[in-house]
Structure 1
Amino acid sequence: MITPQVQQAYDAAKEIYAKHGIDTDKILEKLKEINISMHCWQGDDVRGFLNQEQELTGGISVTGNYPGAARTPEELRQDLEKAYSLIPGKHKLNLHAIYADTEEKIDLDQIEPHHYTKWVEWAKEQGIGLDFNPTCFSHPNSEDGFTLSHPNKEIRNFWIEHCKRARKVGEYFGKELGQPCVTNVWIPDGYKDTPVDRLTPRKRLEEALDEVFKEEIDQKYNLDAVESKLFGIGSESYVVGSHEFYMGYALTRNKLLCLDAGHFHPTEVVSNKLSAISLFNKGILLHVSRPVRWDSDHVILLDDELQEIARELVVNDLLKKTYIGLDFFDASINRIAAWVIGMRNMIKALLKAYLEPSEQLRELELKGDFTARLALREEFKTYPFGAIWDYYCALNGVPVREEWLHEVRDYEQNILKERNKNQKSLIENR
């Protein structure tokens, strides 16, 4: 519901932006067309449902023990629905292979589309698309830090088979839901200390990926992506799948290149890479996260880098070839709130980028008038963006400003705390 106060503030802001030729109504229509892939693993601390007792490995570490983590696919879907109800627009869900909803006892090299049927049925009900990821971590076959580049051929073949099957699941999602599924391959492979041979593991990885992608799948159903990392816990000195490796692989194999905002050196920023890569690559998968020193997966803030990423996508018209997903996990705060904060911030950043006079700024830059360029960009930081955001939320039937937090608190009292009590009761009765 759009209240008179929200409407009045919007009308006043609309007039201010119009003086610079910015049509806020048209921008909100554009914004409505952008779907962001929300990651399922924030809801249960990357445990999944295939083997919930397995210890997290592969550099994956979740801190905190906030009450109410989802324990079943039904609980996770319930939490996801609550989060989506507080986020404007229609989006996607990003699933990892370990989130199969099945009573069968299967291993990762046995997954099939029918193990995810309930997710597809739910996605249809919600009117959203699905993305997918093979899970190449937290498994006995990854305990020594290697998967697709493993020196043991038997173990390497296990992971090749898993990734092949993941692509078939992605194809199934695309066919059923009428929009392509982005299936992203990330592996933790690497050494804690300096290796003697950096080349041979990369040769094995190249050969393994070629085998994974051997079968042609129609890109209207499934899009393949590969993701790099600078270092991780247990691979501080050497990561097989480096940025240079995957950039070369993506370019020569016509794959999407995944850039995770937390997977680079602290002095590097993803925003500065987007335009360069866009000139040569078929497309980009963007994992939006927030690095803090050596940890790459904090809830995203509406900070300078997030806004710069959004500006690059909007100003350079890169949204047509960029797939945006979130990737963070924080168990120290309410998990649903983490989703909502991250998703709303990503949308806010895109809206702020659309509300800048980009053509005017581009002209000033070409003229060499850097004084006016700087002055105008700084002044626009205090333009009434918030009034446009509030109106967009109201227009989409989601809470305006921090009102969403009240709904999360109610959900926590009525659902999450009861869930936690039931869990304690189960433990005590064992």
Structure 2
Amino acid sequence: MNTTEKYLAAKEKYASIGVDTDAVLKELEKVKISMHVWQGDDVQGFLSDGELTGGISVTGNHPGKATNPTELRQDLEKAYSFIPGKHKLNLHAIYLDTDEKIDLNEIEPKHFEKWVAWAKEQGLGLDFNPTFFSHPMFKDGFTLSSPEKEVRDFWIEHGKRSRKIAEYFGKELGQVCVNNFWVPDGYKDNPIDRYSPRKRLMESLDEIFAEELDPSLTLDAVESKLFGLGAEAYTVGSHEFYMGYGLTRQKLVCLDAGHFHPTEVISNKLSSLGLFSEGILLHVSRPVRWDSDHVVIMDDELQEIAKELVRNDLLGKTNIGLDFFDATINRVAAWVIGTRNTIKAVLKAMLEPTDYLKQIELDGDFTTRLVLTEELKDFPYADVWNYYCEQQGVPVGLDWYKEAQQYEQDVLLKR
């Protein structure tokens, strides 16, 4: 059977449990994944050639890394050509494209005009992140919470300018730009005073966010972390800090899959956060014992995240972004694997008879709940996925990888 014939058989199978696959695929088209630019060049950016600092570490030396904005956009175009749907790109401030010699506290919208022009050509939205790491003003492990006013002022100015760039993206592209704030501040060993750095961080963020910006153009998000390299004992921006900050300042709360204790999962937090937060930002990643940012695979937690978003009707208030980097493998392939898996997990969740499952649970029929959820694991969702890819004009199955291998031979290995 060809792809369409397999889809029609799958459509009939799902119809037997009350799921309309045609309607599901129409809904899936609306889901945008914000693919992260930093997988393409190992989080180096174009501001400096210095080493990564602030708990950021990339391992591996696979050939073909992008070394300038033109190469990076070329690689991104190839990756997007393998991914069904129209999505977004998440830029960090260090990915400016300009010949000017400027610092992070001097960046302006004009330094990202080439990215905006490219995004318009590609039909993509843009998200943004200020960059609070890998810089001489990341002093003694601190930025916005530094005890030195000069340091705080530098990073506050950077944060303010980042918001204006995000606003510019929203105006130019007609899609809201999510601007995510994460800072690596913390201590390697046990501090005496945990309160004062958090108070300084709160005050610095309040100053950055003092100007009201149109929420149809840009939304601010804040991101927590349990620990990082060099901040193993104490992270200023903890989950509790940013949960409180986001809820009291009407900011999106970002949950990164790798930023919690190894026994914690973010899927179980979504239903609670959905009740109280202005909105949610996800950084979908794959931690292996710590925040190691492995390429997203179709594991249990990815599927649970997607189920929580679909079952609780949270897709409308959730911005799905990716955050991983692996330099041991083909970087374009890494993007494609992670993004396709994330979309596929959402599709699989949408193919559940959610209303029926909720009703039998409410009725106390836990036997049917278990039977059906187990049987659904063997339903032919892959045939629905392959049909979706074909309809969206992207390669089906392993066909994309054959093209990616050819691109590596023709382009990446010649750099």
CA deviations on 1:335-392 (whole Å, 9 max, x unpaired) are 0000000000000000000011111111111111111111110000000111000000
Report the equivalent of 1:30.
27
Report the equivalent of 1:267.
263
Residue 20 of structure 1 deviates from its aligned partner by 1.1
2:15 to 14, 18, 28: 18
Report the equivalent of 1:158.
154
Residue 207 of structure 1 deviates from its aligned partner by 0.3
Q: Structure 1 residues 59-68 or 291-300, which shifts more?
A: 291-300
CA deviations on 1:124-151 (whole Å, 9 max, x unpaired) are 0001100000000000111421000011
Report the equivalent of 1:110.
106
Residue 295 of structure 1 deviates from its aligned partner by 3.1
Q: Take 1:7 and 1:366, find their aligned partners in 2: how far apart are those partners? A: 37
Counterpart residue identity of residue 39, structure 1: H
Paired residues of 2:282 and 2:320 also in contact (CA < 8 A): yes
1:5 to 2, 9, 31: 2
Report the equivalent of 1:424.
none
Report the equivalent of 1:131.
127
Q: Take 2:398 and 2:192, find their aligned partners in 1: how far apart are those partners? A: 53
Residue 296 of structure 1 deviates from its aligned partner by 3.3
1:92 to 88, 100, 120: 88
Whether 2:253 is the aligned partner of 1:257: answer: yes
Q: Take 1:267 and 1:364, find their aligned partners in 2: how far apart are those partners? A: 30
1:296 to 277, 285, 292: 292
Report the equivalent of 1:423.
none
Q: Take 2:309 and 2:281, find their aligned partners in 1: how far apart are those partners? A: 12
Paired residues of 1:263 and 1:296 also in contact (CA < 8 A): no
Report the equivalent of 2:164.
168
Report the equivalent of 1:226.
222
Whether 2:207 is the aligned partner of 1:189: answer: no
Q: Take 1:363 and 1:220, find their aligned partners in 2: how far apart are those partners? A: 36
Report the equivalent of 1:307.
303
Paired residues of 2:35 and 2:89 also in contact (CA < 8 A): yes
Counterpart residue identity of residue 140, structure 1: P
Counterpart residue identity of residue 175, structure 1: K
SS class of match (1:140): coil
CA deviations on 1:187-240 (whole Å, 9 max, x unpaired) are 000001110000000000000000000111111111000000001111111000
Counterpart residue identity of residue 361, structure 2: E
Counterpart residue identity of residue 280, structure 2: I
Report the equivalent of 1:240.
236
CA deviations on 1:295-347 (whole Å, 9 max, x unpaired) are 33110110110000000001111000000000000000000000000000000
Report the equivalent of 1:427.
none
SS class of match (1:235): coil
Q: Structure 1-normalised TM-score?
A: 0.96
Paired residues of 1:57 and 1:143 also in contact (CA < 8 A): no
Report the equivalent of 1:385.
381
Q: Take 1:333 and 1:75, find their aligned partners in 2: how far apart are those partners? A: 17
Report the equivalent of 1:425.
none
Q: Take 1:321 and 1:195, find their aligned partners in 2: how far apart are those partners? A: 37
The number of equivalent residue pairs is 415
SS class of match (2:137): helix
Paired residues of 2:259 and 2:291 also in contact (CA < 8 A): no
1:39 to 25, 36, 48: 36
Whether 2:348 is the aligned partner of 1:347: answer: no
Whether 2:146 is the aligned partner of 1:147: answer: no
Q: Take 2:271 and 2:31, find their aligned partners in 1: how far apart are those partners? A: 19
Q: Structure 1 stretches of 5 or more lacking a match? A: 420-430
Q: Take 2:290 and 2:31, find their aligned partners in 1: how far apart are those partners? A: 31
SS class of match (2:292): strand
Report the equivalent of 2:207.
211
Q: Take 1:411 and 1:152, find their aligned partners in 2: how far apart are those partners? A: 48
Counterpart residue identity of residue 13, structure 1: A
Q: Structure 2 stretches of 5 or more lacking a match? A: none
Paired residues of 1:92 and 1:130 also in contact (CA < 8 A): yes
Q: Structure 2-normalised TM-score?
A: 0.99
Report the equivalent of 1:178.
174
Paired residues of 2:139 and 2:151 also in contact (CA < 8 A): no
Which aligned runs of 4 or more in structure 1 are off by greater than 6 angstroms?
none
Report the equivalent of 1:329.
325
Q: Take 1:336 and 1:302, find their aligned partners in 2: how far apart are those partners? A: 18
Q: Structure 1 residues 228-237 or 293-302, which shifts more?
A: 293-302
Counterpart residue identity of residue 363, structure 1: Q
- What is the alpha-carbon root mean square deviation over aligned residues? 0.7
